[in-house]
């Protein structure tokens, strides 16, 4: 059973993993699921930034509510 998650808990969890590798599964709309590997670069009051490890080295931003509503799933590297 999943514990009760709040935006504050999600933010604290992501703050604890800044600089670590993650795998992102994001809902791209129209039945598209985007899967990318990257590194959590920074954490801000309402968003967090992930630098993707693709050939273009671009960054993407997501809000903590995206994680709460499971629009974005984060899997931390072990």
Q: What is the pLDDT of residues 5-37, one digit of tens each?
A: 799 999 999 999 999 999 999 998 889 999 999
Number of Cβ within 10 Å of residue 74's Cβ equals: 20
pLDDT for 1: 35
- Each residue of 60-70: pLDDT tens digit? 999 999 999 99
- Nearest CA to 24 out of 58, 50, 63, 59 is that of 50
Q: How far apart are CA 4 and CA 36, in angstroms?
A: 27
Please determine, for residue 43, whether its predicted confidence score (pLDDT) is greater than 60.
Answer: yes
What is the pTM assigned to this prediction? 0.85
What residue ranges do the domains of the chain occupy?
A: 7-76
Please determine, for residue 2, whether its predicted confidence score (pLDDT) is greater than 70.
Answer: no
User: How large is the average pLDDT for residues 41-57?
Assistant: 90
CB 22 within 8 A of CB 77: yes
Q: What is the CATH number of domain 7-76?
A: 2.30.30.100
């Amino acid at each position: 059973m999943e514990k009760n998650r709040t935006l504050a808990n999600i933010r604290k969890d992501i703050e604890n993993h800044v600089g670590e590798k993650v795998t992102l599964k994001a809902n791209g709309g129209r039945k598209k699921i985007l899967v990318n590997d990257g590194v959590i670069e920074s954490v801000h009051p309402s968003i967090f930034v992930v630098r993707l490890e693709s050939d273009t080295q671009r960054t993407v931003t997501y809000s903590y509510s995206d994680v709460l509503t499971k629009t974005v799933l984060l899997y931390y590297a072990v």
